[in-house]
Amino acid sequence: MFSRAVDDAIKDLNLKLSASEKKQILSAVSWTDETAAKVIKKTHKLKGEKLTQLLDYLGTTAENLADFGYFPSDKAGVWLEYETDSDLRDTENIPLNETIHSYFLREVKPHVSDAWLDLSKTTIGYEISFNKYFYKHQPLRSLSEVTAEILQLEAETEGLLKNLVNFTA
C-alpha cells in the first residue's frame, strides 16, 4: 500500500510529521483510482462467541454484516474490512423513531450499493428547530410605507451628501 511506503520513507528520513502534514503529502502525490480494487484494511476471524458479541453490538444478523463494513470472504468465518475513502464519507440526520439500519437500507443502500455504516463514528443527538418553536411572524410593511421612509431618509441626508461632494479644503 502506498501510504505504508510513505510511512517507511518518513521513518527512514527520521522525520517527525503530524497527521495533517502526512495527509497533505499523501494528497499531493497520490490520487484515487475509482476502478482500482478495494484495499483490505483488516481481516477478522469471527466465529462462535466473538461473532455473537459483534452481532449483538451491531444489532444485526450475519447476513447483514456487510451493511456494517464486515464483508464475507471466500473462507468460512473470515470477514474483510476495507479501507474507507474519506472523500466519500457522509452523514445523515435520522428521525428518532427509526432505527439507523432501516433508514440506511431505505435511503442510502439503493443509491450507493457499496456503502456501509460505521457505528463507532455514530453520534446520537437532537435537533431543535428554533424557528419552528420561537419565531413570530411579522407581516411586511406596505410598499407605500417603505417608499415614504426612503424618501424621508433621502431628504434628511441630502445636506450631508452635498457637503461631502462639495468638500473644499
Q: What is the pLDDT of residues 30-78, one digit of tens each?
A: 887 778 888 888 899 988 898 899 889 888 888 889 999 899 888 888 9
Q: Which amino acid is at 12?
A: D
- Predicted confidence (pLDDT) per residue in 153-169, tens digit: 888 887 676 777 776 55
Q: Are 117 and 68 in contact (CB under 8 A)?
A: yes
The torsion of the CA quartet 38, 42, 48, 50, rounded to 10 degrees, works out to -130
Cell of 163: 457637503
Evaluate whether residue 89 is within a structural domain: no
Which pLDDT belongs to residue 167? 62
Cell of 58: 451491531
Continuous segment of H or E residues that includes residue 72: strand 71-72
Which pLDDT belongs to residue 168? 57
Q: How many domains does the chain have?
A: 2
Which pLDDT belongs to residue 139? 92
| Residue 145 pLDDT level (bands cut at 50, 70, 90) | very high
Which pLDDT belongs to residue 105? 93
Evaluate whether residue 24 is within a structural domain: yes
Evaluate whether residue 82 is within a structural domain: no
Which pLDDT belongs to residue 119? 85
Of 66, 71, 69, 59, residue with least CA distance to 89: 69
Evaluate whether residue 96 is within a structural domain: no
Which pLDDT belongs to residue 22? 87
Evaluate whether residue 46 is within a structural domain: no
Question: How would you write 12-46 as a 3-class SS string?
Answer: HCCCCCCHHHHHHHHHHHCCCCCCCCCCEEEEEEC
Checking if the pLDDT of 8 tops 70, the result is yes
Range of the structural domain that residue 139 is part of: 131-156
Q: Are 39 and 1 in contact (CB under 8 A)?
A: yes
Residue 138: CB atoms within 10 Å: 6
Checking if the pLDDT of 10 tops 70, the result is yes
Evaluate whether residue 49 is within a structural domain: no
Evaluate whether residue 79 is within a structural domain: no
Evaluate whether residue 126 is within a structural domain: no
- Predicted confidence (pLDDT) per residue in 72-125, tens digit: 888 888 989 888 887 788 888 888 888 899 999 999 999 988 899 988 888 888
